[in-house]
Amino acid sequence: MNEIRLIEVKQDIHADNEALANELRQRLRKEQTFLLNLMSSPGAGKTTTILSTISALGDDLRVGVIEADIDSMVDAEKVAAQGISTIQLRTGGFCHLDASMVKRGLEGLDLDNLDAVIIENVGNLVCPAEFDTGAIKNAMILSVPEGDDKPLKYPLMFSVCDVLLVNKIDYLEFADFDLAALRQRALRLNPTLQIFEISAKTGAGIEAWADWFRREAGAFLSS
Amino acid sequence: MHELQVTEQILEIALKHVEGQDVSRIVNIHLRIGDLTDLEGEWIQHYFDYLSKGTLAENAKLEIEQVPIVLACEDCGAHFKVTKHELGEAKCPECQDDEPNFRMISGREYTVMNLEVV
Ligand SMILES: Nc1nc2c(ncn2[C@@H]2O[C@H](COP(=O)(O)OP(=O)(O)OP(=O)(O)O)[C@@H](O)[C@H]2O)c(=O)[nH]1
Ligand SMILES: [Mg+2]
Ligand SMILES: [Zn+2]
């Protein structure tokens, strides 16, 4: 009978993805392209928010979009119909994007003619939080109909994001949604989280959020 | 939900570490997984049994050590454990500060620690 031996490993399961994500960030710096990763549950308003953000940015920044969709082209077609350069990644059954998928997406866009790219990640508050996409900044949307208790259920997502967009505030009057409680819970998980209240539909609050985007992209592009 | 992809990584890391060594099979794989992650240990073992067929890791047992979420209070320096769902309403047991500032000490681990081989 052979004796059991121990082999030390101590390797992070996400190490390969993180290394690739860091490589992507270096490349984005060289290419002078700001990359924002946008995450949320299905239907919280990612596509609508992307469209209203790009329209609010106007001629200040040339923005492209990477669309992740489990198995359809619906969102990519909607975005492309607005004349925005868009690439569709088919994620098959995947529940999130990782750095290698985003790398393929970036390769499909004409980065020479873009100042920024927004990733619409797969609709899901769990898995995308665990995979670094190589983005410069991470943002999430929580929409009012989903409820103010989501930081308690999905703490990791709230802790990895730089920005929280509280969308569909036009629903506030119909919902028992406690904005102050949401803020407190989210900031407890992530004290530096920037919170914007928006309605992608009516356009309320979009200017302030677009200002943040302009400022962060500008800081990145001039650094 | 992405147990399959994580399992592929575990298998790849394990096989890489026995490559070129005098190993006839991997018996145990010891993992440390933080409580903040949403992995289901049972699914990982199922997927692993499937993916590892025909490799040196076939029939290996995954031993998962859950690592608790530990926060450090930036105001008073206290360290304390919380569950995942307490995080958004956590209070420092020492100073009870109303606007606490926490740093996470552990809870996000995703590590292959070691292999037992014969
Ligand atoms: N009332 C209201 N409806 C909104 C708002 N933003 C988005 N919607 C609606 O919510 C629905 C879903 O919006 P999408 O932008 O498709 O959401 P999504 O997150 O991209 O959805 P998936 O890609 O399917 O995950 C659409 O019917 C939108 O018109 C808002 O601020 N207010
Ligand atoms: Mg969409
Ligand atoms: Zn304290």
Q: State residue B99's pLDDT score.
A: 79
Q: Flag whether pLDDT at A72 surpasses 80.
A: no
pLDDT digits (tens, 9 = 90+) for A19-69: 999 999 999 999 999 999 999 999 999 999 999 999 999 999 999 999 997
| B88 and B44 inside one domain | no
| B111 and B62 inside one domain | yes
Note down the domain range covering A117: 9-221
| B22 and B36 inside one domain | yes
pLDDT digits (tens, 9 = 90+) for A152-195: 999 999 999 999 999 999 999 988 999 999 999 999 899 999 99
| B50 and B85 inside one domain | no
Q: State residue A1's pLDDT score.
A: 59
Number of domains chain B contains: 2
Sign of CA dihedral A30, A60, A56, A198: positive
Q: State residue B3's pLDDT score.
A: 85
Q: State residue A137's pLDDT score.
A: 98
| B44 and B10 inside one domain | yes
| B74 and B20 inside one domain | no
DSSP notation for chain A: -PPPEEEEEEEETTHHHHHHHHHHHHHHHHHT-EEEEEE-STTSSHHHHHHHHHHHHTTS--EEEEEEESS--HHHHHHHTTT--EEEEE-TT-SS--HHHHHHHHHTS-GGG-SEEEEE--S-SSGGGGS--S-SEEEEEEEGGG-TTHHHH-HHHHHH-SEEEEE-GGGGGGS---HHHHHHHHHHH-TT-EEEE--TTT-TTHHHHHHHHHHHHHHHHH-
Q: State residue A20's pLDDT score.
A: 97
Confidence at A91, pLDDT banded by 50, 70, 90: confident
Note down the domain range covering B81: 70-103
C-beta separation of A217 from A162 below 8 A: no
Averaged pLDDT score across all residues of chain A: 94
**Its pTM surpasses 0.90:** yes
Nearest CA in chain B to A129: B37
CA dist B5 and B2 (Å) reads 6
| B74 and B29 inside one domain | no
Residues of chain B scoring pLDDT < 70? 1
Share of chain A above pLDDT 70, in %: 99
Q: State residue A25's pLDDT score.
A: 98
Number of domains chain A contains: 1
pLDDT digits (tens, 9 = 90+) for B46-66: 999 999 999 999 999 999 999
| B39 and B13 inside one domain | yes
| B37 and B62 inside one domain | yes
| B74 and B111 inside one domain | no
Q: Which atom of ligand 1 is nearest to the CA of A122?
A: 25
User: Which residues 28-67 in chain B show a CB within 8 A of chain A?
Assistant: 36-38
Does residue A146 belong to any structural domain of this protein?
Answer: yes
The CATH number of residue A141's host domain is 3.40.50.300
| B9 and B21 inside one domain | yes
Does residue A97 belong to any structural domain of this protein?
Answer: yes
Does residue A3 belong to any structural domain of this protein?
Answer: no
Residue A184 tokens read as: 């407190």
Does residue A4 belong to any structural domain of this protein?
Answer: no
C-beta separation of A121 from A37 below 8 A: yes
The CATH number of residue B6's host domain is 3.30.2320.50
Q: How far is the CA of B91 from the centre of ligand 3 (A)?
A: 8
Q: State residue A27's pLDDT score.
A: 97
| B44 and B94 inside one domain | no
Contacts of A127 in chain B (CB under 8 A): 1-2, 38
Q: A100: which residues sit within 8 A by CB, 6+ positions away?
A: A17, A20
Mutate to test the pocket of ligand 1, among A48, A69, A171, A201 (most ligand atoms within 8 A of CB): A48
> How many other CB atoms are there within 10 angstroms of residue B83's CB atom?
13
> Is the ipTM value over 0.90, yes or no?
no
